[in-house]
Amino acid sequence: MSKKEFIRGLNEDLAAEWGTIIRYTYQASKSFGLLGAELREIFEREIQDELGHAAFLTDVIVDLGGEPTTIPKDFEKPDDLKAMLELDLEMELKDVENYKKRAKHAEELGEVELKVKLEDMAADESGHARDLRRLLKGL
């Protein structure tokens, strides 16, 4: 994999992070009732984590000589809380796979620190997915 292709993949990940930040902000505003109040708090906490991922990816892309995207990945906008959580679970699982793939690419390019950080980000997203599965079980 070339450095240019790697940067393109990192930009896809960055677009996904921007989209997640917007999606969680949107979903927090659409969360009502007792469960909605709890979900709102969860979404608001997760936004901070996703902002950290986006900031890291932005720095890495610049450090590698690329131009970071500012365009978020588009997402569906379900109104139902369960459908929101199902969408979020699907998206988090995709992020896990993408970060694992990107970690392998970083290793191929000799980017050891980046490989480890991307694996950590995959673990973060996996933890988010686990939390979402638990929430969905309660619905």
User: What are the structural domains of the chain?
Assistant: 3-137 (1.20.1260.10)
- Provide the pLDDT for residue 96: 98
Spatial distance between the Cα atoms of 49 and 20, rounded to a whole number of angstroms: 10
What HEC string does 89-124 produce? HHHHHHHHHHHHHHHHHHHHCCCHHHHHHHHHHHHH
CB 42 within 8 A of CB 25: no
Q: Which two tokens stand for residue 45?
A: 């906490």
pLDDT at 139 over 90: no
Report the percent of the chain where pLDDT is more than 90.
88
How do residues 17-54 score in pLDDT, each as one tens digit?
A: 999 999 999 999 999 888 888 899 999 999 999 999 99
Task: Look up residue 106 and give its amino acid.
Answer: A
How do residues 72-100 score in pLDDT, each as one tens digit?
A: 999 999 989 999 999 999 999 999 999 99
Spatial distance between the Cα atoms of 66 and 64, rounded to a whole number of angstroms: 6
> What predicted TM-score, i.e. pTM, was given to this entire model?
0.94
